[in-house]
Amino acid sequence: MKKAILIPVFNEEVSIKVVIDSLLKLRDRYDIIVVDDGSYDKTPDILKDYDIVVLRHCINSGYGAAIQTGLRYLYDKGYEQAILFDGDGQHPVESIDVISLEQIKQKKDIVIGSRFLSGYEDVGTLKRIALKFFSLIIYIVTKVTIKDPTSGFKCLNRRAMRYYISDVTPLSFPDADAMILAIKSGLTIIEIPVRMNKRISGRSMHYGLRAVMYMMNMFFSLILCVLKSDDELKMEE
């Protein structure tokens, strides 16, 4: 089975070396693919030191676009499994095999590594409220419970890759809205508990004023997702 670890990065000069070094021990089982989303710090120079595939955006295009670029590459190259992994050091290397094997065992399209199933508490009040709200909306619309809809630690099979590179997937922040559309498209999703690390550098995409804007954009995106019919979204087998 061809499997890859896909890492979208933007200005991760402080953490990316540590992250990639920690992943090299898995190269007998996973290829490492990095999508550099227009970094203008030392990230591109650091990546040149590694014998890995690096796909580069000329300008910063956003997390969703970086994920699409990487998944399109993997899908076209015939990969059967993609592990989405952040470049800030937050995702646990030791859980990669766990999430990969769980996807195969459970025969699900998407497996989410959920911090909240393992008792994670390091979340601000505003974000906690937003996450519970998004989880509630997902459940109301799909009857599927997802505790950690913004987790970037996921394992996708080829069906899920095809969904993420389609025109259906929201590009800006494919979080709760992408989960709703995935389920309405017929994809199966489960969560497993994962103990996240503290990020080595940087901070969440959802902080300060950006958190407020994110919540507003996600709210309107969720409304659009709810209005889409299941027949319109259904993926061919």
Q: Read off the CATH number of the domain in which 178 is found.
A: 3.90.550.10
Alpha helices in the chain (DSSP H): 16-23, 43-47, 63-76, 96-106, 125-142, 158-164, 176-184, 208-227, 230-233
Cβ-contact 164, 68 below 8 angstroms: yes
For the chain, residues with pLDDT lower than 50 are: none
Question: For position 133, what pLDDT does the model report?
Answer: 83
Range of the domain at 221: 3-233
Number of domains in the chain: 1
Listed in sequence order, the residues at least 6 apart from 211 whose beta carbon sits closer than 8 Å to its beta carbon are 126, 127, 130
Instruction: Name 56's bridge partners.
Output: 36
Amino acid at 85: F
pLDDT of residue 56: 96
pLDDT for 165-197, tens place per residue? 987 776 666 677 888 888 988 999 999 999 988
Note the pLDDT of residue 221: 62
Residue 70 has a pLDDT of 97
Report the alpha-carbon distance of residue 132 to residue 12 in Å, rounded. 29
pLDDT of residue 216: 64
Residue 187 has a pLDDT of 94
> What confidence score (pLDDT) does residue 237 get?
55
* Residues in CB range of 43: below 8 A, 6 or more apart: 9, 10, 11, 12, 13, 16, 36
Q: Strand, coil or helix: what is 146?
A: coil
